[in-house]
Amino acid sequence: MSAVPAPLSESIQARSPTREIASIAVPVSLEMVLQLVLTFVNQVVVGTLGAVAVAAVGLSGSVSFLFFVTLGALGSGTSILVARRAGAGDRAGVNGTLTVALLVSVLLAAVATVPIILGAGNLLRLAGGAQDVTRAALPYLQVSMLSLVPGVVGWILSGALRSLGHARTPMVATMITVVVESLSALGLVFGVGPLPELGVVGAAWALVIAQTLKALLLAALVYGPRRLAAFALPAPGTRRAVALPLLTLSAPIGFTEFVWSLGGFIYAAVFARVGTQALAASQIVGTLEGIFIVGSFGLMSSATVLVGRALGAGDGSGAQAWLGRVSRAGLLTGLGFGLLFALSALLLPLLFPAVGADVRAIAAGGILINAAAQVVKVRNMILGGGALPSVGDGKGVIIGDVVGAFVVGLPLAIFLGLYTPLGVWGVFLARIADELAKVGIFEWRRRRVNWEALAAAQRGQEVAAAH
């Protein structure tokens, strides 16, 4: 069994726990902040076209997000397995896992893209937006779906790089693509220089360009001169042993991501039925919240990688200790970034002057409601997105997401938003109830984890593989 490169093993042993968490969490969070700042810049650009344009981008985004995050679960599964293989010193396992994940993701994303583009009109009509919003959203959705294949490839390569100790590399690639997409969006929306003036759909083409460039950059960084991994299928007799764990881990994550994003789609539909102003405001709130909550997003990756490495090394108590350290960091970042998110309400007149005072007033209230729940949302990310998938408890994540959204949150949103005087405020409050229900379920599942049994099972697998 070949070993992982020496620098990875040495760096893991040399760093303090705080530095180890930060070495993963900070670059991941910065990468996500860059991505969401980019989304925010694009929304500001589109926002100059009015509230209908903002609502159209938000509506189409709620549809495409269903498919992006569902297939992106392969990236989470890949990251967990690569972390385990790296922790066990198995370089061939790293190569085989990554190769299989890339082939499966490209196939699934390509198969999904065509029917989604052809059925875009029907999907948008299901969301129930106003006719002018749906008309503007249709071409945006059709073009943006062309970024599905490179987007999923980028997620898988980014996850693998973090698990191999190169968390800064995806951040650098994202910095480059942020500049490219921002310039492309400005040029294609307004027709700067030789570029055509495409309006809202120009922002979608900018997304396609950026995601394609990022996938190519990450592939060059992984498989190029640095040789961080090799594109090599597992030996014929071991392919099943590589593919099955990948699918076993990714399928529950994919299902939970689909349930979560489906919930987001239905929430957007409820906002749309409340009114175009409510939908536009909800998209502004979501975009601004994303910029601040991803300050804690890297902790989810830290939990995935560090818990996975410890289990791969057969250290159950170590895995549990890593989760405790990451959780304490999450409490601090949730409080800090939640406060900054609340203060961002003061910037709405400056950032969105063209959407109207009513939209800005709704957005300000939504920001304050959501900022109050940041600590709970961060805890859900760490447990539901990192720790529970790493220990193989996909069932617990599914229960939390289904109950939170479809038993608690969405019924409340429909009732409060459409059948009480609360209106849009009822929908915002229902989403907080959703998060509270989830955190209770995730905590219950965490307490049920038998860490030593998981570590012993991993040690048994390594002994069997060695023979």
Q: What is the mean pLDDT of residues 16-40?
A: 71
Instruction: Select, from the ranges 141-150, 263-272, 282-291, 415-424, the one with the highest average predicted confidence (pLDDT).
Output: 415-424
3-state helix, strand, coil in the chain (%, to 5): 85, 0, 15
Instruction: Select, from the ranges 34-43, 77-86, 383-392, 428-437, the one with the highest average predicted confidence (pLDDT).
Output: 428-437
Alpha-carbon span 266 to 256, nearest angstrom: 15
Full-model pTM: 0.64
| pLDDT confidence of residue 258 | 76
Q: What is the mean pLDDT of residues 237-241?
A: 64
Alpha-carbon span 76 to 251, nearest angstrom: 10
Cβ(258)–Cβ(206) below 8 Å:
no
Q: What is the mean pLDDT of residues 43-49?
A: 69
| pLDDT confidence of residue 59 | 73
Q: What is the mean pLDDT of residues 151-163?
A: 84
More confident residue, 245 or 4: 245
Burial of 346 (0-12, 13-18, 19+ CB in 10 A): exposed
% pLDDT > 90, the chain: 18
Instruction: Provide the b/e sequence for 323-342 (b: ≥16 CB within 10 Å).
Output: bebbbebbeebbeebbeebb
Distance of CA 195 to the CA centre of its chain: 31
> Dihedral through CA 380, CA 42, CA 214, CA 69, nearest 10?
30
| pLDDT confidence of residue 365 | 94
Alpha-carbon span 465 to 237, nearest angstrom: 12
Q: What is the mean pLDDT of residues 185-205?
A: 81
| pLDDT confidence of residue 419 | 93
| pLDDT confidence of residue 12 | 46
Please give the radius of gyration of the chain, using alpha carbons only, rounded to the nearest integer.
22
Q: Residue type at 44?
A: V
Domain residues of the chain, as ranges?
15-466
Alpha-carbon span 69 to 194, nearest angstrom: 35
> Dihedral through CA 115, CA 121, CA 127, CA 132, nearest 10?
150
How do residues 99-139 score in pLDDT, each as one tens digit? 888 888 888 888 888 888 888 878 777 766 667 777 878 88
Confidence band of 10 (pLDDT split at 50, 70, 90): very low
> Dihedral through CA 229, CA 455, CA 259, CA 270, nearest 10?
-110
Q: Hey, what are 78's tokens?
A: 């890949």
How do residues 282-318 score in pLDDT, each as one tens digit? 888 987 887 788 777 778 878 877 887 788 777 888 8
Cβ count near 248 (within 10 Å)? 13
How do residues 423-440 score in pLDDT, each as one tens digit? 999 999 999 999 999 999
> Dihedral through CA 401, CA 407, CA 409, CA 410, nearest 10?
110
- The owner of tokens 């390509």 is 110
Alpha-carbon span 390 to 82, nearest angstrom: 11
- The owner of tokens 């447990």 is 383
